Amino acid sequence: MHTKAAVRTGLLTGALLTGLAAFGPVAHADDLDVDPSVARPGQTVTVAGGCKDTDRYVSISGAAQGKGVVNDGWFSVSVRVAKDRPGTYRVEAKCITSNYSQQGTVRVKQGGTDNDHDRQPHGWATTGGGGTQGPELPWTGMGMALVAGAAGIGGAALLRSRARGRA
């Protein structure tokens, strides 16, 4: 009798696990791709992930909010960061129709620039030469003027020496 009960329990457990697997995988933390993963309040980030092939829309909620379109089971939605205090926050994407949901994180930092990656390039390139000094230093014009002056002095000296030789 104990053998039949063990077989029955094993079959019931297998059927239960098979039934759970048919509903699809459970979403784990950070299934979403949030780019950039570190943002300022109000900055636009891109949230990307996957839905079922039958889904047509996705709703983003949490630290960033918005809606987008699902194409062939994939989405990439530009949304604004809604949190205004520094910290790490959850972003959730819920697929419309199948109710499949995924989660990711975004780290919100204080407004302003706190590292070199936030600054835009400005000013002249400082490579050490080759015309990169900018318009206030006309090296080419100065060089041409020096060459023209040297050619003028040399020409004058040549004409003078020839004139002495004839006289």
Q: Is residue 34 part of a domain?
A: yes
pLDDT at site 133: 54
pLDDT at site 153: 94
- DSSP 3-state assignment of 51? coil
pLDDT at site 27: 42
Q: Is residue 53 part of a domain?
A: yes
Domain count, the chain: 1
Which residues constitute the domain of residue 89?
25-112
Rounded average pLDDT over 69-78: 91
Q: Is residue 77 part of a domain?
A: yes
pLDDT tens for 20-67 read: 444 444 444 458 889 898 999 889 999 999 999 899 999 999 988 899
* 101-108 β-sheet, strand order: 33-35, 44-50, 74-81, 64-69, 57-62, 87-96, 101-108, 38-39
Q: What is the CATH number of the domain that holds 75?
A: 2.60.40.1930
Percentage of the chain exceeding pLDDT 70: 64
Single pTM value for the model: 0.50
Q: Is residue 48 part of a domain?
A: yes
Q: Is residue 134 part of a domain?
A: no
Q: Is residue 131 part of a domain?
A: no
pLDDT tens for 116-141 read: 455 566 666 666 555 555 555 566 77
pLDDT at site 144: 86
